[in-house]
Structure 1
Amino acid sequence: MARVSPPLWLAQPSRFAGIKRRPARLVLAGLALLILLSLSAIIAPSPPPASPDPAAADSDRADVLLYESIVAAVRGGGDYYSVAAQAQRSGGYPVRPFVTMRLPTLAIVQAALPRPVTILLLYLLCLAVLAAWYVQLGGVFARPPPRLIALALVGCGGMIFVQTNLVAFHEVWAGLLVALSLAVWRDDRWVEAVAIGACAMLIRETAALYAIVMALCALAGGHRREAIGWAVAFAMVGAAVTAHYFAWSAIILPSDPAGPGWSGLLGFGFFVKALSVTTALSVLPPWIAAPFVGFALFGWLAWRDPAATRVLGVLGAYAVLVSLFCRTDTYYWVLLVAPVSLVGLAFIPDALRDLYVAALDSRRITVTRSVR
């Protein structure tokens, strides 16, 4: 076993502390490959750019304006499915299949509240995410500065979520709820995480992938009751989606346009680029931002804790989802994992130092025989 050096930032040694020389070199080779794959973001397709023309601002916010118009119509007494279908038809949006119409949860809740209250709730949710992650990271770092840096990275990943003009956007709320669910999860306290995860799924059904990953991790860890809890939450949301389907089918017309499908096959580079443009990394050139995403993903592997394993599993699952099924205009799917995506950078100093020490370890054991 390689020599174990005292941690730099972490309170406990990283997962790579004491690793042998050959495995360390293999891990470093894997990291190099991950960074190269991340750099494919440079040539990956880009999300639709925002127009520099102020007159085109409404066009850039078309999706948000659609959801805001639906909320306003429901607040005025309209039936959600009727007004949503009409709004999508008049806006040139597809109405088929049924998943092109969002679940009614967010629109109904926002229609029942004044807009300032909705914005206040959004800010409170953002603060709750930061506070929960501050608690989750307690004891992980040896000193307060690294812990605050990790918390700042949560903010860097979620900077887009405080924009009040996105308050009607479903992925904003679902992404914050997924981040909060991950932050409150513990081996011995999972009920809150399941309940918050169910709320995320009821707002945006693509959060179901998060619940699936959490259930599989619970099964793998021998936490049968937790796995049942996630299965129950998934079944409840499944019932809600089934009801949504039947309500949608009652208002659909043969002439309604169908969506283009979800088979983008844009690759891992597009996932990296989508994360780059929706987080604080958007201020960096793509050739710098892309490796940061790769290092952030790898960093989660360094924290020796079940919570890190779950975060890494969730990030990996959404990386596959976006790489295979996302289109350029649905890049916002990454918002479901954006708030937690960059926190892995806080674990990189210890990870790289431990791997470097192990990879260069040249100690040998020499056996000598003494003759008496």
Structure 2
Amino acid sequence: MRRGPAPLWLVQPSRFAGLSPRNAAAALAALALLLLATLLVFAAPTPPAASGDAGRRDDDQADVVLYETIVANVRHGAGYYDTATEAMRAGNYPLRPFVTVRLPTLAIVQASVPHAIVVLLLYLLAAAVMLAWWQRLAPVFARPPPRVIAMVLLAGGLMAFVQRELLAFHEIWAGLLIALSLGVHRRGQWLPAVAFGLSAAVIRETAGLYLLLMTVGALVEGERREAAAWAVAAAILTLALAAHAHAVAQVVGPLDPASPGWSGHLGFGFFVRTMTVSTALMIAPLWLAAPLVGLALFGWAAWRDRTGLRVLAVLLGYAVVLSVFGRVDTFYWGLLIAPLLLVGLVFAPDGLRDLIEAAGDRRRITVKRVVR
């Protein structure tokens, strides 16, 4: 029996190396279907484009301006819930249910320190994400160039996260903290990952899904203590949301407008669309950018490592949320997972080569009987 080919970039063969020809062919068919599914992006609605006119920032970035107003008022002594609901009423934002009002964590922190410190913290957090993944990927690649390419892809996912005008946007901070949490996660050394994950969730409660997915991932891997830690983090978030709901109820009345709901049912194409507008893929033509989203997902599946499966689970979990519950005006939910998506492309060459090799393996064992 011939030995399989050596990995292209990775130190170890991909997850698809050694598959039977039938299973490899099925995996290739699934990949083809995934790439075709990404073309549903052409049927998905497009988020409204910014005009690029600095004088129209109030319209182009209405949510960011709202959060900046809240931070400014809190900095000058106003109570968070009073000023938040007043600003939202002035902007005709829905105030019911309570989750339409953001958790106070980010606004209170930003109001407590000088603006320059907030900017510095954002850049330091982005740098910490880059450093964590540089170290995490060090033993993965056989040579330095693929590791550098991975960092370039990571930087492509961080394009929106180093823009100073988005400082008050909650998803920016939560997305960076999720990426950092996954970057520092190690088997048996999960406490920093849990801490960063909880920090993301108390800034933006939609990051609570990340806590749940990591809990399930730990249980599947048999890591009971880690699963318990993630469950405790989820319980802390639940308590924080209960207190938040009570506080919002004190300042919101029955005549305040309600949210239209979160049941957009925009499909997988909308998830692909959010990824193309949230990363460096926005500069590529859509016919190229969309399949690259599928290849990135495939790449994370190809990495023979528990972290790869955790990242893939998080990406797919939010893909489902965006596909089923997302609306055109909530495309920014994709920022929670945008930093790490493109890094999956660096694992795709080995995975694809191993699948093709396995699918084309027609080795046979011939037994000859020799009569003397």
Task: Specify the TM-score bucket, using the shorter chain as the normaliser.
Answer: over 0.9
Equivalent residue for 2:230?
A: 230
Of the structure 1 ranges 274-283 and 1-10, higher mean CA displacement relative to structure 2 is found in 1-10
Figure out how many residues of one structure are paired with residues of the other and give that number. 372
CA contact (8 A) 1:5 1:17 kept: no
- C-alpha distance in structure 1 between counterparts of 2:44 and 2:3, whole Å: 41
Of the structure 1 ranges 204-213 and 149-158, higher mean CA displacement relative to structure 2 is found in 149-158
Equivalent residue for 1:251?
A: 251
SS in 1 for 2:260: coil
Equivalent residue for 1:96?
A: 96
Residue 19 of structure 1: how far off its partner (Å): 1.6
1:1-372 alignment runs, 5 A limit: 3-51=3-51, 53-372=53-372
SS in 1 for 2:13: coil
Q: Which amino acid aligns with 1:183?
A: G
- C-alpha distance in structure 2 between counterparts of 1:254 and 1:261, whole Å: 17
SS in 2 for 1:25: helix
Q: Which amino acid aligns with 2:283?
A: V
CA contact (8 A) 1:38 1:290 kept: yes
Of the structure 1 ranges 336-345 and 360-369, higher mean CA displacement relative to structure 2 is found in 360-369
The C-alpha deviation readout for 1:26-70, integer Å capped at 9, x for no partner, is: 100000000001111122111122225554332011000000000
CA contact (8 A) 1:21 1:360 kept: yes
Q: Which runs of 4+ in 1 moved over 2 A?
A: 51-58
SS in 2 for 1:38: helix
- C-alpha distance in structure 2 between counterparts of 1:121 and 1:190, whole Å: 23
The C-alpha deviation readout for 1:264-305, integer Å capped at 9, x for no partner, is: 000011000100011000001111100000000010011111
- C-alpha distance in structure 1 between counterparts of 2:331 and 2:118, whole Å: 25
The TM-score normalised by the length of structure 1 is 0.98
User: Structure 2 unaligned runs (5+)?
Assistant: none
Residue 2 of structure 1: how far off its partner (Å): 7.6
User: Structure 1 unaligned runs (5+)?
Assistant: none
CA contact (8 A) 1:66 1:87 kept: yes
CA contact (8 A) 1:2 1:361 kept: no
Residue 363 of structure 1: how far off its partner (Å): 2.1
Residue 223 of structure 1: how far off its partner (Å): 0.6
Residue 364 of structure 1: how far off its partner (Å): 1.8
CA contact (8 A) 1:322 1:333 kept: yes
Q: Which amino acid aligns with 1:370?
A: V
CA contact (8 A) 1:69 1:87 kept: yes
SS in 1 for 2:324: helix
CA contact (8 A) 1:2 1:358 kept: no
The C-alpha deviation readout for 1:207-260, integer Å capped at 9, x for no partner, is: 000000000011111111111101111111111111000000000122211111
SS in 2 for 1:342: helix
- C-alpha distance in structure 2 between counterparts of 1:310 and 1:2, whole Å: 33
CA contact (8 A) 1:96 1:256 kept: yes
The C-alpha deviation readout for 1:122-164, integer Å capped at 9, x for no partner, is: 0000000000001111110000110111111111111100000
- C-alpha distance in structure 2 between counterparts of 1:153 and 1:16, whole Å: 23
CA contact (8 A) 1:3 1:18 kept: no
The TM-score normalised by the length of structure 2 is 0.98
- C-alpha distance in structure 2 between counterparts of 1:334 and 1:73, whole Å: 28
Residue 369 of structure 1: how far off its partner (Å): 1.3
- C-alpha distance in structure 2 between counterparts of 1:101 and 1:71, whole Å: 14
SS in 2 for 1:150: helix
CA contact (8 A) 1:81 1:247 kept: yes
SS in 1 for 2:78: coil
Residue 340 of structure 1: how far off its partner (Å): 0.7
SS in 2 for 1:255: coil
Q: How well do the aligned residues superpose, as a CA RMSD in angstroms?
A: 1.1
- C-alpha distance in structure 2 between counterparts of 1:182 and 1:131, whole Å: 12
